[in-house]
Chain A
């Protein structure tokens, strides 16, 4: 009897702490989003009230849509993220397959070489990367960003994918070899479909930092035509600091796509983190 009561007490305490922290985590986002739908007066007078018929105002959103070229920024971000993701997954899976499937001289060394990039951030090479992009004429192109993000994403992708590829059964691959499939066919038709869950995990891990990056867009592609949504909202908000409606609306617009993607993929992401950590 006493034991069950102490259990209940402990579980109430656990819920209380977790709810408190959940509120701390969500409150700032919540405040921004609700206020973006309100009139300027209501934002200041009663910041914690939800939007209602009395204080409803979409002036922030109309300003954002008129002033900023957010559709273009969004398209740029999509192009960069999807293209980099494609190359990271394709090249990463190929290299991971070579490292996990074949025994050859320098295998371990090659694995370590590729893993170096997990710990050493690519930003430290920025000075030389910019010089290189200038001499290649790639400054202010999305290609420059795609190249950099592909290089940035590869080390972790190779590392995670080769762990998973080791678990693909040898019998299956050998059966394919006996049937006369080339090594390329074995990779593309037998192995790739089997590691699809791991590819999804790598995709989520790779996608978030690329979408959110400010450093490389700022340095390599700051022109109006190539701005990503992260850089675009940073510049826009910087110019409209005093227009609270516009700032709040721009922030809400920047939050929503990421949030929707996260809610779709959160299961994948969390499973990925927990699976990777157990190893």
Chain B
């Protein structure tokens, strides 16, 4: 083994295409965008302005109102997902994973269908269903005597964002369901049998034995949801347009970035402020991912079977 091995060219050949495409199209533009956020236009020339774009974004009322509004809306969007999507996902997975359940494959396939549809379909479908003109939603509420509850949810400032978040939950609940279902199936039978010996069955068994064992999966789902939510754009754009109406009440960071970067109506697009918003989103996502990797994931005990 003292002999030096010849340089193994094939390793380079195997790695090169993936690394080149990934670096050129993803990593370089990512840093290019971060870099661009430090520049702005001075007449015709691009000049270095340091952190001035961020000062404008966070402090200048013309920008900061929209930014903090979008950030808060985005947080609310995420909170709704965590509070509604995960419990429903866990409940469905727990039911699906019970042995002797018939038609489990059918339920699994059917409940996952919304997840594969595009945002364009989902956005318009719900827009039509909730539309006061068509009357499906009020008609159905009427059938159960709850018509007084109906409001044009997507058109009211106070409900629109929550409604959209719930639509997004409807679309994506299949993912937590599947991941938790998989985690539940991977719990060995010995553990369950031991619990049954100790007289733990049904819900108490779920709370005391299974839930702690699937916590790592819940952690993964939370971080996936976090990244997805703080990067979301399509659903809001399709349902409410780039202006994220009514009166920006459904504006999130993705739509704010799109409007700033591309312009809308009379305002021209601004790549530098766009890059500043993208950089802010990058930092937010990075903080979330780091919190998860170093704060949550390492603390969750890994059970080795």
Which residues on A are within 8 Å of B, measured CB to CB?
Answer: 10-11, 14-15, 17-18, 21-22, 24-26, 28-29, 31-32, 43-44, 47-48, 87, 90-92, 94-95, 97-99, 102, 104, 110, 114, 116-117, 119-132, 147-148, 150-152, 154-155, 158, 182-184, 187, 208, 211-215, 219, 230, 233-234, 237, 244, 247-248, 251, 254-255, 258-259, 262-263, 266, 269-270, 273-278
Contacts and interface: CB of A to CB of B under 8 A. Distances in A.
5 contacts: A15-B103, A124-B231, A128-B30, A158-B18, A277-B182
B245 interface: no
Nearest to A99: B15
B48 interface: no
Nearest to A215: B233
Tell me the dominant secondary structure on chain B's binding face. helix
B195 interface: no
B22 A155 contact: yes
A126 B261 contact: yes
Interface in B94-133: 95-96, 98, 100-103, 106-114, 116-121, 124-126, 128-129
A22 B110 contact: yes
Interface stretch (B66-74, B151-159, B274-282): B274-282
B108 A270 contact: yes
Q: Which residue, of B124, B178, B278, has the highest number of chain A Cβ atoms within 10 A? A: B124
Given A15-B103, A18-B92, A131-B271, 19 more contacts: A17-B95, A18-B107, A47-B136, A47-B139, A91-B18, A94-B14, A102-B8, A121-B285, A128-B32, A214-B238, A230-B118, A251-B124, A255-B117, A258-B117, A262-B116, A270-B112, A273-B179, A274-B178, A274-B182
B14 A95 contact: yes
B125 A183 contact: no
B99 to A, nearest CB: 11
A188 to B, nearest CB: 11
A18 B96 contact: yes
Nearest to A252: B121
A158 B45 CA distance: 41
Nearest to A43: B134
A26 B110 contact: yes
Nearest to A155: B22
Nearest to A271: B182
Nearest to B118: A212
A121 B108 contact: no
B57 interface: no
Given A24-B170, A151-B26, A187-B14, A110 B19 contact: yes
Given A98-B11, A255-B117, A128 B275 contact: yes
A125 B32 contact: yes
Given A47-B136, A124-B30, A255 B121 contact: yes
Given A31-B129, A230-B120, A270-B178, A117 B22 contact: yes
A117 B95 CA distance: 34
B192 interface: no
Contact of A254 (B121, B183, B254, B278): B121
B185 A274 contact: yes
Contacts of B139: 47-48
Interface in B15-47: 15, 17-19, 21-22, 24-33, 36
Interface string B259-302: 00110000000010011001101100110010000000000000
A187 to B, nearest CB: 7
Contacts of A128: 28-33, 36, 275
Contact of B26 (A17, A21, A26, A152): A152
A117 B134 CA distance: 43
Contact of A129 (B25, B109, B257): B25
Given A48-B136, A278-B182, A122 B100 contact: no
B10 interface: yes
Contacts of B15: 94-95, 98-99, 110
Contacts of B202: 10
Contact of B95 (A18, A152, A155, A215): A18
B275 A214 contact: no
